[in-house]
């Protein structure tokens, strides 16, 4: 009899727990913790992205939130760096009990926070960091990258260069001396060597990150006269380099390729001449040729301009992509759970392999094998247009991510070495502004 009572009690408890899991009630809010740069030079990306996150969350909540639940944001400053960043991340996950995190901009931050997210079993979207290696060396369950990585970003820019200026013989690079500057050049130069081995690299310059002066680099490049100068610098560094190079005629002497220059176009204004090749670091541009007449896209851009005084730049779109991915994952998980509110693990299950519409470019797929986002790449050339006091992108090409992203399980650099000159002859649609 005693045995029967115990078994009955256990069965009842199991039924109650199982029922709770299957029909978990809606929470009061979905808490999202966001790591972004609020201080330091990279705040040129982090602060606009924060403004975008606040704008998107407000809009989302006005429309009822995700699955009827409003979102609530909290931010941590990547500028704090190192242990402080990790401690703050742990705090928002363990104390504030966020449901998901978007971390981060810097690849260094991602390298630090991705293993922590995995340990804490919290879903994390690497919303802007570009180092390909993070998802190449280990398979994660809780970490996803909701945009492309440095490999397709650099490869798209290189193929654009090879298509539009196929006869160049010499190239020089001026990149910031830190992880991104080095890694982006490794990607670019490896692919260049594979697809056009006759090109001579005449200078590899890596000035200090945050350098206030590039006079000597400019002098050296003026003396060397390379056909092409590549830079993947960003923020104030890129602005300074472009202006100092322009003042001394270097921009007119060599073809400049600004690997991720889209974010500087508005600031550089009239100082940016025509004819520079510019990468958008993804499939987004505030006058995207396939979306510029879409009312929702225009409304987003105009709302952001009204809020901040500038048109959106790529970190703004990357932040929006993270929200779109989260929303899509929750919708998918709710549907898979028969309309009931899903558990965190069910949301993670639903995120793998998800394809989501960004609303400002082509859809992005989170590749299930390695959780890497497959995002198209837009590259164009600067040109003046009436009505704008800065250059716009013209002759834009949009590259298919499935073609220019290394296959899952193959390291980027190893894959790039296998490319042949014919690879650059792929058909890519070109769009006028």
Partner 1 sequence: MNSTLAILAVLDGISYAALVFLVSVGLSLIFGVLRVVNVAHGSLYAFGAYLAATFSIKVAPLSPWLTYPALLAASVVIGVVCGGFIERFLLRPLYGRDDVLQLLITFAAFMIMDNLQRLIWGVQPIFAAEPLKLLPNVTVFGVNYTSYQVILLPGVALMTLFGLRYFLRHTLAGAVIMAVTEDREASTSIGIDARRVYFVTFIIGASLAALGGALASPTTSLVPGMGADMIVLSFAVAATAGLGQIEGTALTALMIGLTRAFVIYLQPEFEVLVPYLLMVLVLLVRPYGLFGATQVRKI
Residues binding partner 1 (CB under 8 A): 39-41, 43-44, 46-47, 177, 203-208, 210, 212-213, 215-217, 219-220, 222-223, 235-237, 239-240, 243-244, 247-249, 267, 271, 310
**What's CA 264's distance to the chain center, in Å?**
16
Q: Which is nearer to partner 1, 94 or 215 (by Cβ)?
A: 215
Min separation Cβ 80 and partner 1, Å: 13
**Which residues 6+ apart lie within 8 Å of 35 measured at CB?**
75, 76, 77, 78, 85, 89, 101, 102, 103, 104, 105, 109, 113
Min separation Cβ 95 and partner 1, Å: 25
What is the C-alpha to C-alpha distance for residues 205 and 366, in angstroms, rounded to an integer?
35
Q: Which is nearer to partner 1, 193 or 248 (by Cβ)?
A: 248
Tokens of 248: 């001394």
Min separation Cβ 170 and partner 1, Å: 16
Q: Which is nearer to partner 1, 262 or 370 (by Cβ)?
A: 262
Give CA separation, 135 vs 60, 126, 145, 408, 409, in Å: 30, 10, 8, 9, 9
HEC string of 224-286 equals: HCCCEEEECCCHHHHHHHHHHHHHCCHHHHCEEEECCHHHHHHHHHHHCCCCCEEECCCCCCC
Q: Which is nearer to partner 1, 49 or 398 (by Cβ)?
A: 49
**Residue 275 — left, alpha, or beta (φ > 0 → left; ψ -120 to 50 → alpha)?**
left
Min separation Cβ 41 and partner 1, Å: 5
**What's CA 351's distance to the chain center, in Å?**
17
Whether 255 and 234 have beta carbons less than 8 Å apart is answered as no
Give CA separation, 369 vs 115, 141, 321, in Å: 18, 10, 20
What is the C-alpha to C-alpha distance for residues 33 and 420, in angstroms, rounded to an integer?
43
Three-state secondary-structure class, residue 60: helix
Q: Which is nearer to partner 1, 36 or 405 (by Cβ)?
A: 36
Tokens of 187: 């990607």
Residue whose structure tokens are 């790449």: 377
Q: Which is nearer to partner 1, 193 or 243 (by Cβ)?
A: 243
**Which residues 6+ apart lie within 8 Å of 321 measured at CB?**
127, 146, 147, 282, 356, 358, 364, 373, 375
What is the C-alpha to C-alpha distance for residues 176 and 232, in angstroms, rounded to an integer?
8
Three-state secondary-structure class, residue 339: coil
Min separation Cβ 432 and partner 1, Å: 29
Q: Which is nearer to partner 1, 158 or 250 (by Cβ)?
A: 250
Q: Which is nearer to partner 1, 259 or 373 (by Cβ)?
A: 259
Min separation Cβ 293 and partner 1, Å: 29
Min separation Cβ 208 and partner 1, Å: 5
Q: Which is nearer to partner 1, 98 or 205 (by Cβ)?
A: 205
Q: Which is nearer to partner 1, 69 or 222 (by Cβ)?
A: 222
Min separation Cβ 146 and partner 1, Å: 24
Min separation Cβ 187 and partner 1, Å: 19
| Helix residue spans in 63-178 (DSSP H) | 82-90, 107-120, 133-136, 150-164
Min separation Cβ 207 and partner 1, Å: 6
Min separation Cβ 71 and partner 1, Å: 25
Closest CA to 377 of 267, 288, 307: 288
DSSP 291: T
Q: Which is nearer to partner 1, 273 or 359 (by Cβ)?
A: 273
């Amino acid at each position: 009899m005693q045995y029967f009572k115990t078994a009955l009690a256990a069965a009842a408890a199991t039924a109650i727990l199982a029922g709770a899991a299957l029909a978990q009630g809606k929470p009061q809010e979905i808490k999202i913790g966001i790591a972004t740069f609020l201080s330091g030079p990279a705040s040129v990306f982090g602060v606009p992205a924060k403004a975008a996150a606040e704008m998107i969350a407000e809009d989302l909540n006005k429309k009822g939130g995700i699955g009827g639940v409003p979102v609530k944001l909290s931010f941590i400053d990547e500028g704090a760096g190192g242990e402080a960043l990790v401690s703050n991340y742990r705090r928002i996950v363990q104390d504030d009990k966020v449901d998901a995190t978007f971390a981060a901009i810097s690849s260094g931050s991602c390298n630090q926070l991705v293993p922590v997210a995995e340990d804490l079993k919290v879903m994390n979207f690497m919303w802007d960091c570009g180092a390909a290696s993070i998802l190449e060396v280990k398979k994660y369950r809780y970490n996803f990258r909701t945009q492309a990585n440095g490999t397709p970003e650099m490869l798209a820019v290189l193929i654009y260069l090879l298509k539009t200026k196929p006869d160049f013989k010499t190239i020089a690079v001026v990149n910031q001396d830190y992880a991104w500057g080095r890694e982006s050049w490794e990607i670019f130069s490896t692919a260049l060597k594979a697809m056009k081995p006759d090109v001579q690299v005449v200078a590899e310059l890596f000035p200090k990150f945050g350098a206030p002066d590039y006079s000597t680099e400019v002098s050296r490049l003026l003396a060397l006269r390379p056909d092409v100068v590549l830079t993947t610098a960003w923020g104030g560094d890129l602005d300074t380099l472009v202006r100092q190079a322009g003042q001394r005629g270097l921009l007119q002497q060599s073809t400049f390729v600004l690997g991720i220059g889209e974010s500087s176009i508005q600031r550089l204004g009239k100082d940016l001449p025509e004819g520079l090749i510019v990468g958008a670091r993804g499939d987004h541009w505030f006058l995207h040729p396939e979306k510029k007449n879409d009312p929702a896209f225009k409304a987003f851009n105009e709302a952001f301009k009204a809020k901040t005084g500038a048109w959106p730049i790529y970190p703004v779109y990357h932040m929006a992509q993270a929200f779109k991915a989260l929303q899509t994952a929750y919708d998918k998980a709710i549907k898979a759970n028969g309309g009931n509110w899903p558990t965190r693990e069910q949301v993670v299950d639903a995120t793998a392999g998800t394809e989501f519409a960004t609303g400002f470019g082509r859809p992005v797929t989170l590749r299930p094998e390695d959780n890497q986002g497959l995002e198209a790449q837009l590259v164009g050339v600067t040109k003046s247009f009436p009505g704008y006091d800065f250059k716009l992108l013209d002759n834009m090409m949009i590259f298919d991510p499935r073609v220019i992203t290394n296959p899952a399980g193959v390291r980027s650099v190893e894959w790039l070495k296998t490319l042949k000159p014919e690879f650059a002859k792929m058909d890519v649609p070109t769009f006028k502004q």
